[in-house]
Amino acid sequence: MTQNTSSEALPKSAEWMQDWTDVSQKMFQAALQHYAELFKGSSMDPFNIASAYMEMMLGFWKDPSALLKAQQRYLTDSLRLWQYTTTRMMGGEGIDPVIAPGRGDNRWRDQEWSQNLVFDYIKQSYLLAARCVEDAMDGADHLPEKDARRLAFFAKQFVDAMSPTNYPTTNPEVLRTTLEKRGENLVQGLQNFVRDMEKGDGKLRIAMTDTKAFKVGENVATTPGKVVFQNRLFQLIQYSPSTKKVYRRPLLITPPWINKFYILDLQPANSMVKWLVDQGRTVFVISWVNPDDESYKDVGFDTYMLEGIYAAVDAVQKITGEAKLDIVGYCIAGTLLSATLSHMKSRGDDRISTATFFTALIDFAEPGDLGVFLSDDQIVKLEGDMAESGFLSGRMMSNAFNMLRSNDLIWSFYINNYLLGKDPAVFDLLYWNSDSTNLPAGMHSFYLRKMYQENKLCVLNGIELGGEPIDVSSIEVPAYFISAREDHIAPWKSTYAGARLFSGEVRYVLGGSGHIAGIVNPPSKNKYGYWTSGGDTLPASADAWLAKAEQHDGSWWNDWNEWLQQHNSEKVPARIPGKGKFKAIEDAPGSYVAKRI
């Protein structure tokens, strides 16, 4: 790194530099506190890991072999790192580092982390220490699996927070920028920090994008359409056709109410809604309300079924005059859709012709990283907090999701906004990610307990909704499951287990990337790829399915469209929103989606 030690290159006031040091420590502490205290009223041990930690250490005291093995590996490789560094100092070239960052770890992109001896040593020392912690966690096989997972997750959070990239004196890009800009980046960083604290009402709310650069209905969620029905729970949007003929059966999309629907309609180039309309689909989308008062306190999981999916199906049927329709459920809405199909089956309701599930869990035996937040004590705390307001704050839920990818969704913005003093980039996906929604207390408590904690949905008659015991194995509706290989929210092997519960035709498809990018993957981008199997029979093992699956380039959207065509090939004249029995209430995307918290 080019050095410049002239007095002009540094902030003029040593006193100001001391102030910056003090404030930067407060900034770092605020970032840690904000993402540790996810829930109002948390104790000093908000995730109940103290007892698990003590149990782990007691196990290591009784049998220290796993801990000693991790420490021995660390010490051996630390000595190798000294030798590696000394060799490089003496002019040695072409030698391999002792440890390298993992695939997809973007913290070390600056070339100084590899080319500069000091920063290369700092980087590798940190990576060795991080691996040692990971090895120790892996060796804690005397713990119950849930406790071991929780400890490993929060150990990783601590390790990520301690990364040298997060400190101004050990980040070469921050040091270089500080010298080049004479400390102006740190001044701007302080201003950004104050702004984000004010925006969060005294709690740090790190800006991920310029929220003023977007407006729903103007440059995101712009596909033309009309709101044609609404009740207290949702608005129903019917999109304007772009073809003269459309497939006879309409397509109803049920997005998750944990987020807003326009993840499927960001910009025209990556809008699934627009793409489906252009394929000749009559597309309806549910836009859920954003509850913000006690009137939604008792809204339950079955309310979302009866006043949500059922009400939307009724409206679509009356608007189009069609006896049957195709339906999509995304994430939690897919979980609800499976229960709804069972409920319909028990009542002899056959209006659903095909069902598509986007990254949807039905079997919650292995719920992924979200399970670390869901100990019984933590759920009790959540329920106590929700009892006061009637809902769970969407910001708390968003923080929990961000922790699943803390380096990408927390610390990268901390560095960019506060250490480099930059404004966040203009990015539609991050605008959507920051547009949080609240969750009704009754629904959320039922969902956490009956699905995540007790895994009752996949059990015969394990839960009852709308007066009917739920049996997902009774579902015979042809189903299409799309999951994402790197999904941390709905792990693909768990969604696979859920797909095997159905009795009818099931096509299982595995996409690349994660929970969002794996779904919002338009064919024009030709990214990620996907895997399909030759038949509809799903072997018991997800690994066995993948071993025989065929890999394809590009987007799974085309495969899905072909599958829909096989079940719905007849076409009729295009339908114009608001021209039938249901008059247009307002233009898409409607008023429910515009409400921010």
Name all contacts of 138-145 with Cβ < 8 Å and 24+ positions apart: 138/66, 139/60, 139/65, 139/66, 139/67, 139/69, 139/70, 140/56, 140/59, 140/60, 140/66, 141/66, 142/55, 142/56, 142/59, 142/62, 142/63, 143/52, 143/55, 143/56, 143/59
**pLDDT band per the 50, 70, 90 thresholds, residue 148:** confident
Q: Is the pLDDT of residue 41 over 70?
A: no
- Residue 476's pLDDT is what? 97
**pLDDT band per the 50, 70, 90 thresholds, residue 56:** confident
| Mean pLDDT (whole number) for 261-272 | 96
Which residues are marked as active site?
Answer: 331
**pLDDT band per the 50, 70, 90 thresholds, residue 24:** low
Q: Name the residue with higher pLDDT: 56 or 341.
A: 341
Phi and psi at 446, nearest 5°, equal: -60, -45
- Residue 403's pLDDT is what? 83
How far from chain centre, in Å, is Cα 376? 23
**pLDDT band per the 50, 70, 90 thresholds, residue 397:** confident
527 CB burial (10 A radius; 0-12, 13-18, 19+): middle
- Residue 375's pLDDT is what? 77
Q: How far lies 550's CA from each of 330, 529, 565, in Å? A: 24, 11, 21
Q: Which of 46-50, 270-274, 363-367, 380-384 has the lowest mean pLDDT?
A: 46-50
Name the token pair of 84. 């590696």
**pLDDT band per the 50, 70, 90 thresholds, residue 281:** very high
C-alpha span between 241 and 232 (Å, rounded): 27
Output the DSSP codes for 13-77: -HHHHHHHHHHHHHHHHHHHHHHH--STT--SSTT--HHHHHHHHHHHHH-THHHHHHHHHHHHH
How far from chain centre, in Å, is Cα 469? 31
- Residue 33's pLDDT is what? 56
- Residue 63's pLDDT is what? 82
| Mean pLDDT (whole number) for 14-40 | 53
Q: Which amino acid is at 3?
A: Q
Please answer whether residues 137 and 148 qualify as being in contact, where contact means their C-beta atoms are separated by less than 8 angstroms: yes
| Model confidence pLDDT, tens digit, residues 232-244 | 999 999 999 999 9
- Residue 43's pLDDT is what? 46
**pLDDT band per the 50, 70, 90 thresholds, residue 13:** very low
Give this prediction's pTM: 0.87
293 CB burial (10 A radius; 0-12, 13-18, 19+): exposed
For residue 465, give every residue at least 6 positions away whose Cβ sits within 8 Å of its Cβ, in sequence order, or none: 301, 302, 305, 339, 343
C-alpha span between 133 and 411 (Å, rounded): 20
Q: Is the pLDDT of residue 20 over 80?
A: no
| Model confidence pLDDT, tens digit, residues 191-203 | 999 998 888 777 7
Q: Name the residue with higher pLDDT: 294 or 96.
A: 96
Q: Is the pLDDT of residue 434 over 60?
A: yes
| Model confidence pLDDT, tens digit, residues 151-188 | 888 889 999 999 999 999 999 999 999 999 999 999 99
**pLDDT band per the 50, 70, 90 thresholds, residue 35:** very low
Average of per-residue pLDDT values in the chain? 89
Name the token pair of 427. 């990015």
| Model confidence pLDDT, tens digit, residues 86-132 | 999 998 887 899 999 998 899 999 999 999 999 999 999 999 999 99
| Mean pLDDT (whole number) for 575-593 | 94
Please name the helix (run of DSSP H) or strand (run of DSSP E) that holds residue 275, with its range, or none: helix 272-278
- Residue 23's pLDDT is what? 57
**pLDDT band per the 50, 70, 90 thresholds, residue 3:** very low
**pLDDT band per the 50, 70, 90 thresholds, residue 503:** very high
- Residue 8's pLDDT is what? 44
H-type alpha helices, 162-261? 172-180, 184-199
| Model confidence pLDDT, tens digit, residues 509-532 | 999 999 999 999 999 999 999 999
**Which residues make beta-bridge pairs with 481?**
357, 508
- Residue 142's pLDDT is what? 83
E-strand stretches of 421-495 = 439-440, 464-465, 468-469, 479-484
C-alpha span between 345 and 237 (Å, rounded): 26
- Residue 395's pLDDT is what? 82
| Model confidence pLDDT, tens digit, residues 564-583 | 999 999 999 999 999 878 99
- Residue 10's pLDDT is what? 42
Tell the residue number behind the tokens 């101004």, with chain if given.
168
Q: Is the pLDDT of residue 252 over 60?
A: yes
Residues of the chain with pLDDT > 70, as a percent, come to 91
- Residue 236's pLDDT is what? 98
Comparing C-alpha atoms, which of 401, 437, 446 is closest to residue 305? 446
- Residue 265's pLDDT is what? 98
